[in-house]
Amino acid sequence: MTSSLQDRVVAAGFAAGWTLLPYLPKKPTAAAFRAVADRAWRRREPSVRRLERNLARVTGLGEDSAELRALSRAGMRSYLRYFHEIFLLPKMDRAEVVRRTHVTGAENIFDTVAAGRGVVLALPHMGNWDQSGAWLTGSGYTFTTVAERLKPESLYRRYVAFRESLGMEVLPLTGGAGHNFGTLAQRVRKGGIVCLPAERDLTKNGVKVEFFGATTQVPVGPALLAVKTGAALLPAILWFEGDDWGLRIHEEVPVPTEGTLQERTAAVAQSLVTVFEKGIAEHPEDWHMLQRLWLEDLK
């Protein structure tokens, strides 16, 4: 199958998911997604092997150990649960989403916004980040985020429409007006909320940090926004909690008062991923990192 044809098939699958799944019985469709996860896991597809290598670094488990294999199976099931849930979210009652989201530290967002100060929520790729966005909008708070430019364009547009239906303002990571940082800065300077994934750099212009004992690059945006605008940078950790969702909003990452802009931004980014390390270590099965992350793995 050619890459172009494969892209169209994927786009058609997503379109069918958003169109049909909300009207089908939930238990059988959830079981089907688990079966897809288990099939990929049994075949040890490249994405599964990459997940296992990443989890081995996080947990210290041996790459050929039974414990790591069990963890990667749980990880693949968690990953496919995310996709199952995003197809259901647009039709879910928002009050139900809020009720089933078990949140610690919500006041770190609400009190900051009430004081007229902007917030940058930074999160790793864990649990269901779209559901957490639905919790936030369902709690009465709009926010702005940035989306990866998926291929084909039709899939990207559907993802944007999906997130906008949940109440998010979505800016393209690439291919837009080219003023994303300025727009995000404007939002938080006016006391708004920005939510950004923050442990995988897609631009190749990130800042280097030490993450689980090795060097990687993370997006510079969250830390730079905090340094340049004075917005509160709040790390968020997400996980699945039974049939519900867990969410912890950590306290503000401090911004150094001394040093160059580059030094201060790097220090904030390092403090941010240190919080991520603890959250990922506590819920490794819900960290959906099926790509190369550390610089030594990119060689």
Which residues are tagged catalytic? 125, 199
- Verify cis geometry, omega within 30 degrees of 0, for the bond prior to 152: yes
**Three-state SS sequence of the chain:** CCHHHHHHHHHHHHHHHHHHHHHCCHHHHHHHHHHHHHHHHHHCCHHHHHHHHHHHHHHCCCCCCHHHHHHHHHHHHHHHHHHHHHHHHHHCCHHHHHHCEEEECHHHHHHHHHCCCCEEEEECCECCHHHHHHHHHHCCCCEEEEECCCCCHHHHHHHHHHHHHCCEEEEECCCCCCCHHHHHHHHHHCCCEEEEECCCCCCCCCEEEEECCEEEEECCHHHHHHHHHCCEEEEEEEEEECCEEEEEECCCCCCCCCCCHHHHHHHHHHHHHHHHHHHHHHCHHHECCCCCCEHHHCC
Backbone angles phi, psi at 86, to 5 degrees: -65, -25
Question: What CA–CA distance (Å, rounded) separates 161 from 154?
Answer: 10
Closest CA to 254 of 237, 240, 274, 279: 274
